[in-house]
A and B are shown apart, each in its own frame.
Chain A
Amino acid sequence: MNVFLSMVATVAFAVLYQIPRKAILPVGLLGIVAELFLIAASEEHVGLVAVSFAASLTISLLGEGFARTLRMPVTIFSVPGIIVLVPGMNAYQTMKDFVTHQFMQGIAMGTETALIAGAIASGLVMAGVLARSVWRPRKNVD
């Protein structure tokens, strides 16, 4: 059920950015991939930071692949693709801790949130660098 909802959420988010119709199916697929990573994380008890990095790297690489085969900008795929990974619950918990004066918990939670966000960003960066170095020669021929 959650997998289906992730796909819906991802595609609907993509519609807000007016992505081309041809890109909808791949984007939905990326949403599913993201949710599968999260499910695996909770079942295998792997830390969210590590999983977020792996998921974001995978999704961005897939996105770079889609972008090249479909001849579209990468942002079409990577922006909606990683939305499911965004640590919304952690961020919310952080704010809640601070508002209720539980500063120590808030700082701990906030640090984890920041680390997850950093991991997602690093995945994007890594995929971007890899794609640039691997695909650059072909791009010049274009």
Chain B
Amino acid sequence: MDEERVLRLCMQTGLLLLRYGGETSRVEETMAHMAMGAGAPPDSVQSFVTPTGIFISMTTDNGTLTHLTRVTGPATMNLEKVTLLNDLSRRLQRGNCTVDEAFAELDRIEQAPFIYPRWMQMVASALSSGSFTIILGGAGSDFLWGAVGGLIAQETTRWLTRYAPRFFSVLLASLLGALLAVLSSAIGYTHDEGAIIIGAILPLLPGLAVTNAIRDLLAGDLLAGVARGAEALFTSVAIAIAVAVAIGISPRLT
């Protein structure tokens, strides 16, 4: 067994998992499974994963080998790739795949295009925002405003996260979405301003962050759980401030 190579395989898988939105407890588990599947003796591999960095070390008769990688750059949610990486580790663990094949598969997964292309995501954010607007009590005509607001909010964050901190991009995106709702009702075309605002900010809700935080805390990954929870709280505060600003402006417009 080539320890260096096995460790590199684990590290690369862990990084991808974390980037695509896997919870840290899953990352730790997957790396351990992969190492064992690649031939490392049980319990020889220890890892410590946080949302901002991965530490992994392997102790064998030849000594201890340690890798440390910082996780930087914005995360791109892609649960399909998380599933594929999961399958890969399972195959390796069962012995249905060699380390070389695993490396090739990793590259394939990383380079694979998103299953839902850009336009489909835009349609999806418009559809979900519009539907939510009506569920929350908006009239049929509010669907359009909610959908447009959601689309604007989603596209703004997608574009801004590359240049600005997440707090700022979410703040600006939800502000734009909410302002559109406020403006549309100022013109007098809408039935329920509140429903449109909430529908518009729906795509920005930190659903995955909250769920991952809870799952990490449950798995005993206290540090990662709290960190993810703080991230989710941060995002929620940004959204709340934006909504408060929009509501505050609203009476001045009519």
Contacts and interface: CB of A to CB of B under 8 A. Distances in A.
A110 B154 CA distance: 26
B39 interface: no
A80 B208 CA distance: 9
B23 A75 contact: yes
Interface residues on B, range: 35 or more
28 contacts: A6-B131, A9-B132, A9-B202, A12-B124, A13-B202, A15-B124, A16-B128, A17-B21, A18-B77, A18-B79, A20-B115, A21-B115, A71-B90, A73-B83, A75-B21, A75-B23, A75-B211, A79-B208, A80-B207, A83-B202, A88-B136, A92-B197, A95-B247, A99-B244, A100-B247, A124-B215, A128-B215, A129-B218
B7 interface: no
B80 A20 contact: yes
B202 A79 contact: no
Chain A binding surface, main DSSP class: helix
Contact of A79 (B87, B115, B134, B211): B211
Nearest to A21: B115
A14 B92 CA distance: 28
Interface string B168-210: 0000000000000000000000000011011000110101101
A1 B131 CA distance: 10
Contacts of B203: 13, 16
Contacts, number: 140
Interface string A86-99: 10110111011011
A18 B76 CA distance: 10
B214 interface: yes
A75 B135 contact: no
B248 interface: yes
A2 B114 CA distance: 30
Given A75-B212, A121-B214, A124-B211, A17 B77 contact: yes
Given A12-B128, A17-B79, A124 B247 contact: no
